[in-house]
A and B are shown apart, each in its own frame.
Chain A
Amino acid sequence: MIAIETEGLTKDFPVGFWRPRPYRALDGVTLRVEANEVFGFLGPNGAGKTTTLKLLMRLVYPTAGRIAILGRPAGDPGVQRRIGFLPEAPYFYDYLTAEELLTYFAGLFGIRNPDRRTRVSALLDRVGIGGERRLPLRKFSKGMLQRVGLAQALINDPEVVFLDEPMSGLDPIGRRDVRDIILSLRDRGCTVFFSSHILSDAEALCSRVGMLVGGKMVATGSVSELVAFKVAGWDLVVAGVDPDRLGALGPGVRAVVSMIGGRSALDLAPECEPERVIAAVRDLGGRVVSLNPLRATLEDVFLAQVRASQAASPAGRMMPEG
């Protein structure tokens, strides 16, 4: 069952007052997200991620192309009941408290008391908002607003959740919490669609990702498909051996970096066998601290795509948001 589907989605914005010229924010974006997937929608700032989300949420109307969510067109009221949305850097009615906001939104879904009260309370607990829930939202920090945003996205127990930069503004604890929530959503059978420019989050969470650069989809697939499992070398950290003697261990040792505490980091070429170097280190009286393979990461793929796309269209685009 396909949770989210777009086909040839294009959006032009008119720019300029007297003779508006169209600025193509999105160009023929096609993507497909299966049910119960966690889909990472990646791209640099200005690529069009937020625009895509707004189109999915029907806050913006497409110039061309088609959208379907849970098999229904975007904006269908039946669909709106089953989805949740967290906008980027969310802002709420600052005259309301967190509790009042969630109660309001729950009311819009037709959720009545006593179910409403329990849901609001439980959600606030889940996103980590304690006693502050009775404070007006204007007193909330960015991180707390982000949490409230997540709560209001989940108030109706949605089947598909759309998150725009969910980790932004959060400290490491907050980010871990959000990660946990996303994973728990997946475990409960939800589909999660989130956009981010922080790739490490995507690597950890997503079953599939899509990359948007300059308004165009440049790559989609599972993380493992995009990142060829190819070892590019080894990172070996040893201790107790004089760094000068390490360089002499063989041609495979590409670099030696001294670290604090008498340790050294060796950069080994892929064809070099790490076991042989380890044995040599032991002979010298040292010991191994750690051994890590160096692989291409999503970031490398990402940067390569960005460079390629910039080479293709060198004329700069104006800076929209998202």
Chain B
Amino acid sequence: MPRVLGLIAYHVFKESVRDKVLYNLVLFALLMISASYLVGQLTAGQDIKIIKDLGLAAIAVFGLFISVFTGVGLVWKEVDRRSVYNVLVKPVGRQPFILGKFVGLALTLFVNLAAMTMAVYLVLVVMAWVDPGLAKTAVMEAPVVDPRLLSAVWLIYVQLLVVTALALFFSTFSSPMLSAALTFGLYVVGHFNADLAHFENVVESKTAAVVARALYYVLPNLAPFDVKTAVVHGETVAAGYVLLTTGYGLLYAAAVVALAMLVFSRRDFK
């Protein structure tokens, strides 16, 4: 089974590399990140922070688009065009098929995020090299080329794995438009998840508070993955925090993939 999973995952990655749309998206992201260098020239003193802010934001936003659009289209495209028939007839179970797709998506996402991260660091390195005095500015809270950025990017990656799992889940049974809408919706809701826990402070109705708390547990809690602000100001994110948050993300994504596997294994391909 691992061999089959690996093959399916590898081909998901291969498809993404040869997919023109995705290619252009990543290219655009890289361009944007490079352009931040120019933006940095415009403001005095705060430019390093702005480049880090823009870089991380670009990674988060483009990463989100990649997650949603590849996740949503992946299964749906195959079913719609019936290319899925050929694979499912081979000795590949329906569940391993979906699992393999997810692993492939995770790999694709990783590579894309890594590329964008390298671009950000490249810009930072160039900035530091061009103007060595930058590092000595008293305003600096964090070094120019700061390895702490990696923890922010890693958590963005894990968060996007959750988003990808959701996109994949929806794509096993609904159209790409609806799947994308639902996935984006859950992404937004996931950021305000923490507020649901405190609903009882503001609402009168007991029932609403109970429902809110139940939703708080079931819906993904995505806000803790966002440590961009802290990292940009030079704070180190504790290893324990990163570990626990990663664990939450991976387990939650796995739960969603398990549901996707279930739905996919039971449907008719008309």
Q: Do chains A and B touch in the complex (CB under 8 A)?
A: yes
Task: State whether the Cβ of A107 lies closer than 8 Å to any Cβ in chain B.
Answer: yes
Which of A80-88, A246-254, A292-300 is the contact stretch?
A80-88
Asked if A90 and B86 sit within 8 Å, CB to CB, the answer is yes
For B71-109 the 0/1 string (1 means CB < 8 A from A) is: 000000000011101111111110000000000000000
Cross-interface CB contact of B86 among A83, A85, A107, A156, cutoff 8 Å? A85
In the complex with contacts A60-B270, A104-B7, A77-B91 CB distance below 8 A = yes
Q: Which of A91-99, A114-122, A186-194, A234-242 contacts B (4 or more CB under 8 A)?
A: A91-99
Report if A170 contacts B (CB, 8 A): no
Q: Which chain A positions have C-beta within 8 A of B87?
A: 105, 108
Nearest CB of B to A55, in Å = 10
Complex interface: chain A residues within 8 A of B88 (CB):
57-59
Q: Pick the residue among A61, A92, A96, A108 that contacts B90 (CB under 8 A).
A: A108
Asked whether, in the complex, the Cβ of A85 is within 8 Å of the Cβ of B15, the reply is: no
CA separation between A105 and B89, bound complex, in Å?
10
Query: When the two chains form their complex, are residues B83 and A93 in contact, meaning their CB atoms are under 8 A apart?
Result: yes
CB distance from B113 to the nearest CB of A (A): 22
Q: How far is the CA of A208 from the CA of B86 in the complex (A)?
A: 27
Tell me, in angstroms, the Cα distance from A245 to B93 when the chains sit together: 73
Residue of B nearest to A85 (CB): B89
- Number of A residues near B (Cβ < 8 Å) is 30
Are B270's CB and A13's CB within 8 A? yes
Q: Is A152 interfacial (CB 8 A cutoff)?
A: yes
Taking A77-B93, A105-B90, A108-B91 as contacts, is the C-beta distance between A92 and B268 under 8 angstroms? no
- How does the 8 Å CB contact mask read for A60-78 relative to B, with 1 for contact and 0 for none? 1100000000000000010
Cα distance A80–B91 in the bound complex, in angstroms? 5
Which residue of the partner chain B has the closest CB to A105? Answer: B90
Enumerate chain A residues within 8 angstroms of B206, measured Cβ to Cβ.
none
B90 touches A80 (CB 8 A): yes
What is the chain A residue whose CB lies nearest that of B14? A95
Is the Cβ of B89 less than 8 Å from the Cβ of A60? no
Nearest chain B CB to A2 CB, angstrom units: 20
Q: Which residues of A contact B270 (CB under 8 A)?
A: 13, 60, 320-321
Q: Which of B3, B7, B15, B93 contacts A95 (CB 8 A)?
A: B15
- CA A192 – CA B81 in complex, angstroms? 26
**Interface SS of B by simple majority:** helix
Interface assignment of B18: CB less than 8 Å from any CB of chain A: yes
A92 and B86 contact, Cβ closer than 8 Å, known pairs A13-B270, A80-B91: yes
CB pair A95 B90 closer than 8 Å: no
Tell me which of B93, B266, B269 contacts A59 (CB under 8 A): B269
**Using an 8 Å CB-CB cutoff, how does the interface string of A124-168 with B read, 1 for contact, 0 for none?**
000000000000000000000000010010001000000000000
Inter-chain contacts of B7 with A (CB < 8 A)? 104, 107-108
Q: Which residues of A contact B81 (CB under 8 A)?
A: 91
A156 to B15, CA, bound (A): 24
Closest A residue by C-beta to B16:
A95
Residues of B within 8 A of A80 (CB): 89-91
List CB contacts (< 8 Å) of B130-162 with chain A.
none
Residue of B4, B85, B268 near A85 (CB, 8 A) is: B85
| Most A Cβ at <10 Å: residue of B88, B91, B266 | B91
Contacts of A54 in B (CB 8 A): 85, 269
- Name, among A90, A107, A109, the residue most crowded by chain B CB atoms within 10 Å (CB to CB): A107
Q: Is B11 an interface residue (CB 8 A)?
A: yes
A110 at the interface (CB under 8 A from B): yes
CB of B19 within 8 A of chain A?
Answer: yes
Within the complex, what minimum Cβ distance (angstroms) separates B110 from chain A? 20
Q: In whole angstroms, how far apart are the Cα atoms of A105 and B4 in the complex? A: 10
The residue of chain B having its C-beta at the shortest distance from the C-beta of A61 within the complex is: B268
Smallest distance from the beta carbon of B136 to chain A beta carbons, Å? 50
What 11 additional pairs, Cβ within 8 angstroms, besides A85-B89, A93-B15, A95-B18?
A: A54-B85, A57-B88, A57-B89, A58-B88, A59-B85, A59-B88, A59-B269, A77-B93, A85-B86, A87-B85, A95-B19
A selection of 23 A-B contacts at a CB cut-off of 8 Å is A13-B268, A58-B89, A59-B268, A77-B93, A80-B91, A85-B85, A87-B82, A87-B86, A91-B83, A92-B86, A93-B11, A93-B15, A93-B83, A95-B18, A95-B19, A96-B11, A96-B14, A105-B90, A107-B7, A108-B90, A108-B92, A109-B90, A156-B90
